[in-house]
Structure 1
């Protein structure tokens, strides 16, 4: 890059009173000044300040290097305002290409229904920003209402602990956005080239390390929230509806002692260009990998002393999932250790990493703009050296950590303050129908707060012990069963929305995975695997990897109409990267691949060896040979058949409940029987 290292240098324009930062060697000329008041939240009114920003440049001198079209749109947008502000006022059902890019920064994507032919039916998807997955009672009820009034009647829980609201029409955007903002929510930065939602374990445990991790995630989210006011100007006519920020967040944001900031800019960290691409951060505690820590641009891990008192943080950098089929220069990547910092330095250390990516990440080709490519190009030593200059210190050695575990937090648990929480499995995160109605009734009746997990599930918090029985009963009637009654394959599976609304989808994911999991369960039974055995299955409609398929034991990635690329080799605790096994496998041919794989796992695995570990040990060449020679499993004696229903009324009641889980009555009844037998056996062994 052609920018000089260190502080962004202001360029004097025709009006000597107005300055804007140069970026990557560009000099912006012929701009007219405007005055824009920016209030720093939580700062006393006596310390509020006036900054002078610059409106859309009319001429930009040629850069010494090529920049992508999106970079030019950002630069000319007057801090993500123009032309979106004008496009929203037109009668057309859609917005133009420039506005489509800019509305992402506001937390929305323009979409159209790809199942329909002829004239496109445009709508907008809105994504909220909920650090740690925290959703106050009032916001949940608001989102539930908005889904019915302005959406498609469903809510979706995402893999980054947020809501997605689909089907909002352009004419309703301002109403929906302003309603979210005024009810304790936000969509600012949920999409676009800036920091996305910050993950943290969703469990509402009253434990010092968990509370500290969640507080840190919220502070990092606040630190990296845009400051120029474009979001509030657009949706609530400039009204700033924000909670007070901790003073340490404000200090860290405004600190420029090591040349991190753009002086006198309404965006001190982001400048006019924001970041080269999206940026993802997760915070957690040792052992808890509910957040897929290694898939993030920055992974932050609380380090405690022997008494459990937080002392500092280990920092990982360079994770990311997105790639392009058959383009080997693009790849998923796991984050690697950067170093350790004392707890009081975490905001400054993360800011230094973000600024390093801002200054040196590629802006010419968006396929290579994520920070993982910068680190892969430079190597971790050079990257650490540059970050340290912005941080102003050397990183301390990475502290040793215990083994990671995947934690789902499903079922009933104690919070540690006398209350309970209940984690509920939601297939693919899609909340609709009777489930949606019942969840609302419970959350409203008991005034419960909610957490969204990175596995697209939902946690109801702050439940009194006396409410446990009635809540369990009413949830079960809506198909929200305790985890022991849910197929183990479903408990860890994830899929992205894909078709019909995602413009990038190549094939099905969310709509296809229920049938795929049933077929995998059938293969399990055919080759003799037990019901309580499972593999981590993740399905995406395209290679961008929104459901993190490259960490799965079995990843299915859209690779053409009705076909998938198969990835194998992830671990159940999400600490190993899968690899491509086969390309363009038609959906109807999946059993031809899965049967020999699962059959040989059943027969040749070592003690407690996971499917992912088995595939690595066997090697892909050997596995492909087994697939090519497969003629089906040897015949096995007929199984015992248990007649489960004695009367029509019981069958119909079970069938109605089973349909809520996309099963039939026999499947659900067998699950109940199996779990009952297993619980009895466990009781005897104890």
Structure 2
């Protein structure tokens, strides 16, 4: 058989369609001219962004041996490994599985990686949120076993699931399941399209809660004991340029459930989408369009039929904040954790080498954040000084030494690997940020003032640009649609401001916006709040 790099696309398509459910997509290097060199992108599945020590070291090795020498941290707390050729797929997949990892369900028409705050706090609410994310991920993981048959010859790798997860998955009291199917929740057709869930605690919006199909928020009593959850439904970022019937959307409140019911409630929401989401046109197949069409009241009533109960009114919550968890923090169990900013999530070069040395030497576990950053966990206080020194030498600086514009910026990979990209995002972001910093200086804005900037190479919105204060959405070669009006805590949707802004015209467009913000804003008014009226 010919190698992956020689196979025509028509021969690759069946494999490509199959293994997307196993966390992989076929790609080719769009910078190359002439014959296309095909390879595969692999994405891991890491609920809460948890990465055991052994898995991190394995991913680091695989990037060098079978990838392009870098690791990519995604906006959904996972790794992406680029450049794996077909003949190495089984070796790479089996290595990940044998190292306590998985790629199952990281892509495809099913539930994707479940987000939760990455901070390894020893607090009850954080630990409960993270455990809930783990349980939801297990509940909605495909069950047929073919993944393990294909990549590790049927070897039983995974540990036993919590009994409450197994019970909730198998429960068919309200007609949610396919009783005789190896996939009791998904059946043979799975979902109309991808499905995204995030779990968090009050005030902590590190997960961009309202951008998910389902948002789950822990509700505690006065003593900090978890009692139940507020549920939000119908968020999603993807859209299509100049098709006004496609749009980004924020999740809205569904109601409250007691803690023992969470798996049943989430399952009921998923089944409602499975049975009613559109399958005739993928542009409209996300759950946000179902809710937009039905309205929240009808959606709630259908979910309640599958849930078997009425939802209680949502509990009142405090204001949301964006929490990055960068820098050094107390875990609450005597240990420390250190959050490290990684530009656009790309780990390579000296940074990659140093991270590996530290993680290996101190036997550290790792967490990935929804903002493409990395957290080193379980650090003894005596290790803080040598680790800080080693990190600084590799350019992994404490947040006070990083440009504030960089700290909250995000970009998707885009060119050259993503087949959907229209223009640059990750590769263009460093230049964009430097030019925006120069405009800041020109109009007299202070260094410590910042704006949440996000860029994607196409309108699918993988880096969530529609929540940014300043969003760049690729809509042509070297051209972007600009979105304004998101807020620093990611609770407001931005709106389109200009189409087809050429990258060389950036200063001409942004200078008057920043100048007016400096001159006319209210005290401490964010750029997003100031520019809300600018949306069209």
2:31 to 95, 100, 115: 115
Matched, 1:337 2:258: no
* Residue of structure 2 aligned with 1:597, choices 508, 513, 524: 513
Corresponding position of 2:381: 465
What's the CA shift string for 1:209-233, capped at 9, x where partnerless?
Answer: 0000000000000000000112111
Q: CA, structure 1 residues 620+577, in 2 after alignment: closer, same or farther (shift >3 Å)?
A: closer
Larger gyration radius, structure 1 or structure 2: 1
Structure 1: stretches of 5+ with no match in the other structure: 1-85, 622-686
What is the DSSP-based 3-state SS (H/G/I as helix, E as strand, rest coil) of the residue aligned with 1:303?
strand
Partner of 1:490 in structure 2? 406
Aligned-partner SS, 2:476: coil
Q: Please give the secondary structure, in 1, of the residue aligned with 2:329.
A: strand
| C-alpha displacement of 1:515 | 0.3
2:4·2:85 contact (CA, 8 Å) conserved in 1? Answer: no
Task: Give the 4+ runs in structure 1 shifted more than 3 A.
Answer: 86-95, 618-621
Corresponding residue for 1:73? Answer: none
Distance 1:87 1:543, change over 3 A: farther
CA deviation after TM superposition for structure 1 residue 195, in Å: 0.3
Question: 1:307 matched to which residue of 2?
Answer: 223
> Is residue 127 of structure 2 the alignment partner of residue 211 of structure 1?
yes
Deviation at 1:88, TM superposition (A): 10
Q: CA deviation at 1:264?
A: 1.0
Find the partner of 1:183 among 81, 86, 99. 99
Residues 297-316 of structure 1, C-alpha deviations (whole Å, 9 max, x = no match)? 00000000011000000000
Q: How does 1:187-336 map to 2 (within 5 A)?
A: 187-336=103-252
Deviates more, 1:135-144 or 1:95-104: 95-104
Are the counterparts in 1 of residues 5 and 38 from structure 2 also a CA contact under 8 Å?
no
Q: Distance in 2 between matches of 1:254 and 1:141?
A: 36
Spell out, residue by residue over 1:427-453, the C-alpha distance to the aligned partner (whole angstroms, 9 max, x if none). Answer: 000000000000000000000000000
Q: CA deviation at 1:458?
A: 0.2
Mapped partners of 2:92, 2:466: distance in 1 = 35
Q: Does 2:429 correspond to 1:513?
A: yes
Give, in angstroms, the shift of residue 240 of structure 1.
2.5
Among candidates 433, 437, 440, match of residue 349 of structure 2 = 433
Give the count of matched residue pairs: 535
Determine the C-alpha separation between the residues in 2 that align with 1:233 and 1:456: 32
Maintained 8 Å contact 1:504/1:542: yes
Q: What TM-score does the superposition give when structure 1 sets the normalisation length? A: 0.77
Secondary structure at the counterpart of residue 323 of structure 2:
coil
1:93–1:128 distance in 2 versus 1, CA, 3 Å: farther
Confirm or deny: 8 A CA contact 1:87 1:99 kept in the other structure: no
The C-alpha deviation readout for 1:594-646, integer Å capped at 9, x for no partner, is: 00000000000000000000011x4447xxxxxxxxxxxxxxxxxxxxxxxxx
2:20 aligned residue (91, 104, 110) = 104
Contact 1:87 1:96 in 2 (8 A): no
**Contact 2:485/2:535, CA 8 A, preserved across alignment:** no
- The correspondence for 1:136, drawn from 45, 52, 56, is 52
Aligned residue for 2:117, secondary structure, equals: coil
Cα separation, 2, equivalents of 1:118 and 1:619: 44
* Secondary structure, aligned partner of 2:460: coil
C-alpha distance in 1 between matches for 2:353 and 2:22: 29
Give the secondary structure class of the aligned counterpart of 1:286: coil
The separation in 2 between residues aligned to 1:362 and 1:250, in whole angstroms, is 29
Residue of structure 2 equivalent to 1:668: none
Residue of structure 2 equivalent to 1:92: 7
CA contact (8 A) 1:217 1:283 kept: yes
TM superposition shift of 1:96: 2.7
- Decide which moves more: 328-337 or 235-244: 235-244
Matched, 1:475 2:391: yes
Cα deviation for residue 99 of structure 1 reads 2.5
- The one-character-per-residue Cα deviations of 1:343-401 (angstroms, maximum 9, x if unpaired) are 00000000000000000000000000000000000000000000000000000001111
Q: Distance in 2 between matches of 1:88 and 1:359?
A: 40
Corresponding residue for residue 336 of structure 2 = 420
User: Aligned-pair distance for 1:561?
Assistant: 0.4
1:22 maps to what in 2?
A: none
Residues 210, 88 of structure 1: alpha-carbon distance in 2 compared, 3 angstrom cutoff? farther
Cα distance in 2 between the residues matched to 1:130 and 1:500:
25
The CA distance in 1 between the partners of 2:481 and 2:13, in whole Å, is 31
Q: CA deviation at 1:98?
A: 3.0
1:235-273 CA-partner distances (Å, limit 9, x unpaired): 111222111100000000000000000011100000000
2:485 to 557, 566, 569: 569
Q: Relative contact order, CA 8 A, sep 6+: which one is greater?
A: 2
Contact 1:112 1:121 in 2 (8 A): yes
Question: 1:23 — aligned with what?
Answer: none
Residue 174 (1) aligns with residue 85 (2) = no
Give the Cα–Cα distance (whole angstroms) in 2 for the partners of residues 561 and 463 of structure 1: 45
| Aligned equivalents of 1:461, 1:620: Cα separation in 2 | 41
**Contact 2:4/2:86 (CA < 8 Å) preserved in 1?**
no
Matched ranges for 1:139-178 at <5 A: 139-178=55-94
How many Å apart are 1:578 and its aligned residue? 0.3
Partner of 1:16: none
Q: Scaled by the length of structure 2, what TM-score is found?
A: 0.98
**Measured at CA, do residues 89 and 494 of structure 1 come closer, stay the same or move farther in structure 2, by a change above 3 Å?**
closer
> How many Å separate the matches in 2 of 1:575 and 1:98?
40
Contact 1:93 1:171 in 2 (8 A): no
Q: Is the 8 A contact 2:344 2:412 kept in 1?
A: yes
- Of residues 225-234 and 356-365 in structure 1, the stretch that sits farther from structure 2 once superposed is 225-234
Does the alignment pair 1:379 with 2:379?
Answer: no
Deviation at 1:540, TM superposition (A): 0.2
Do 1:316 and 1:339's aligned partners in 2 also have CA atoms closer than 8 Å?
yes
Whole-angstrom CA distance in 1 between matches of 2:4 and 2:372: 35
Q: Distance in 2 between matches of 1:104 and 1:293?
A: 25
Query: Where does residue 403 of structure 1 map in the other structure?
Result: 319
Distance 1:151 1:460 in 2: 23
